[in-house]
Amino acid sequence: MSRWHAKSDTSRGAGGQSRRPNSTICVYKTLWTGLRPLYASVPFVDISIRLRRFVEGEVATLDPPPIDGRLAAAGYAFKEIDDIRALVEVFSNGNFPYLLIATITRYLLEGGEIGVPGEAPPFVGSHETNVQAPLVVMKQG
């Protein structure tokens, strides 16, 4: 059984700088490469969808007031409110897989191990949202 685990590299060069200037990029590349069989699998996509449905269902039981009226009262146009809705959908669609990946990453960084006894069936297709959201560049100043 192969195992993954995270190991901290504390090697430093002159002046306390990391000897690898792109060490953060290396960490992310290693993480994404190592987790690819997991996040590209049917069980991962299924649990991400189930997690989102569960959370959104629980939020709905809180009966939050709709935000549309408040946005309109604040001067937002109907198209802007639709764009906001689309952006929320894009982020909601991606946040649950990222939450799972972040949880796994933290577990590994804290010394946990993940056994890989077999392969999960790969997910074929796309689990992207069908919503088209505008690219928004935010600039301060």
Q: Which residues of 84-115 are buried (b: 16+ CB within 10 A; e: fewer)?
A: beeeeeeeebeebbeebbeebbeebeeeeeee
Q: Is residue 125, in this structure, part of any structural domain at all?
A: no
Q: What are the Cα distances from residue 121, in Å, to 35, 48, 128?
A: 14, 15, 19
Rounded Cα–Cα distance for residues 26 and 47 (Å) = 28
Structure tokens, 32: 């994404």
Tens of pLDDT, residue by residue, the chain (141 residues): 344 444 444 555 555 555 555 777 887 888 888 888 888 899 999 999 999 999 999 999 999 998 999 999 999 999 999 988 988 898 888 899 999 999 988 998 899 987 766 778 888 887 777 777 666 665 666
Domain assignment present for 134: no
Full domain range(s) for residue 63: 2-116
Is 128 part of a structural domain of the chain?
no
Domains identified in the chain, total number:
1
Mean pLDDT of the chain: 81
